[in-house]
Amino acid sequence: MANQSTSNPILCASFNQDASCFVIAVGAFTIVEMLFTSSLLAIVGAGEQPSLSPRRLCLFNTMTGTALRELNFLTSILAVRMNKKRLVVVLQEKTYVYDINSLAILDTIDTVPNVKGLCAFSPDLDACFVALPASTTRGSVLLYNAMDLHSHCEIDAHRSLLAAMTLSSNGMYIATASEQGTIIRVHLVSEATKSYSFRRGTYPSTIFSLSFGPSMELPDILVATSSSGSVHAFSLGFALCQRGRRSSIILGSIIPESVSDALDPAHHDVFHNAAPAGVKSHAVVRRVDRVTDSSTSQIVACRATISMVTYNGYFQEYNLTISNRDKYSWSLEREFNLLTVIPENAI
């Protein structure tokens, strides 16, 4: 979840009930990763004290308040990902795959230098892919099957280096953005083929995060946050987008990719000034509900709940409605400073 040092305690909160459930006030951390909504946390310290080394991964049980296991590495840990079967630990030039129950090491993936710790991981056990950068000169992605323990494919997604990527919940699609940040591409993992290209904007911007809607079929939406302080939403689910996709494929077969990207329909909307410009942010699509017409049973809109955390300490929750006519409606449901919900005696 977090990849930035903080001297504040870890807060585990239930945002549905607006109540904190656990606070760890022992020092600064660079990584905090939760296994779904369970009591298992993977935490990595910022190195301010020997027990919180950036080379040590601690698996922590919030129910008992105790450390379960620790794993030590030769270099700093840059990212951690988990699902019900696998634990993935990303270092700068190696990525380790563990059985999450026994913590037996299953494989070691040698990678190109991954100084940003970029990694995407699918929670689905039937399509349990790890995505990692595959080049130091282009925006290529390595897809690795973490259940079968072998390389699946490599996708040449962008001309410039990768800045962000995410896998859909079912592991079928991967979305990527380059350091230029003007184009976001979605590829079908099984065939390593491009399904969608979305133009975020004309001017370069750093993409901080990408998140698909949590559908086990075709995700309805894709959300991105950027250094401009905006939240971007892209529609994938409606027939209008499908028609645009088909025309794009035909055009893409006869003209260069850079031109066909520009001709892809936008299906895109922006919520401006969600965060201060330059402040890192991370957004997740928590829920998507489809709205049907009672007389025809056709899907006429989808409603998404989007949660966002900014690195200046704020939590925001948005509702987004997208109609089948590609009309977008945003509403900020709540916003609060995370530090104000931490008990004073925990700081």
Q: In what order do the strands lie in the sheet with 150-158?
A: 120-121, 129-133, 139-145, 150-158
Mean pLDDT over 22-47 rounds to 83
Q: How confident is the model at residue 85 (pLDDT cuts 50, 70, 90)?
A: very high
Q: Write the CA distances from 67 to 3, 6, 8, 217, integer angstroms.
A: 20, 20, 19, 37
**Rounded (to 5) percent helix, strand, coil in the chain:** 10, 50, 40
pTM listed for this prediction: 0.85
Categorize the per-residue pLDDT at 286 as very low, low, confident or very high, splitting at 50, 70 and 90: very high
- Tens digit of each residue's pLDDT (9 = 90 or more) over 245-265: 444 444 444 444 444 444 344
Q: How far apart are alpha carbons 125 and 85 in whole angstroms? A: 8
Contact between 268 and 233 under an 8 Å Cβ cutoff? The reply is: yes
* 187 has a pLDDT exceeding 70: yes
What is the mean pLDDT of the segment spanning 214-218?
74
pLDDT grade for 290, boundaries at 50, 70 and 90? confident
Summarize the confidence of residues 62-68 as an average pLDDT. 89
**Average pLDDT for 277-285:** 95
Residues 6+ apart with CB under 8 A from 262: 199
Which bin fits 325, alpha (ψ -120 to 50), beta or left (φ > 0)?
Answer: alpha
Range 316-326 average pLDDT: 91
End-to-end CA distance of the chain: 21
Q: Residue 330: phi, psi to the nearest 5?
A: -105, 150
The b/e string for 137-165 (b: 16+ C-beta within 10 A; e otherwise) is eebbbbbbbbbeeeebbebebbebbbbbb
Give me the percent of the chain exceeding a pLDDT of 90.
Answer: 62
pLDDT at 29: 86
> Is 298 strand, coil or helix?
coil
- Of 119, 117, 147, nearest to 132 by C-alpha is 119
Q: What is the three-state SS of 8-48?
A: CCEEEEECCCCEEEEEECCCCEEEEEECCCCCEEEEEECCC
| CA-wise closest residue to 237 among 291, 199, 190 | 291
If we measure between CA atoms, which residue out of 233, 262, 254, 245 comes closest to residue 322? 233
Which amino acid appears at position 101 of this protein? Answer: N
Mean pLDDT score, 293-306: 88
| Structure confidence at residue 12 as a pLDDT band (50, 70, 90) | low
Report which residue type is found at 90: V
More confident residue, 333 or 326: 333
Residue 317 identity (one-letter amino acid): E
Instruction: Provide the pLDDT for residue 266.
Output: 53
Which residues touch 186 (CB under 8 Å, ≥6 apart)? Answer: 173, 174, 175, 194, 195, 196, 197, 198, 222, 236
Average pLDDT over every residue of 260-286: 81
Question: What pLDDT score does 21 carry?
Answer: 52
Q: How far is Cα 19 from Cα 191, in angstroms, rounded to an integer?
A: 44
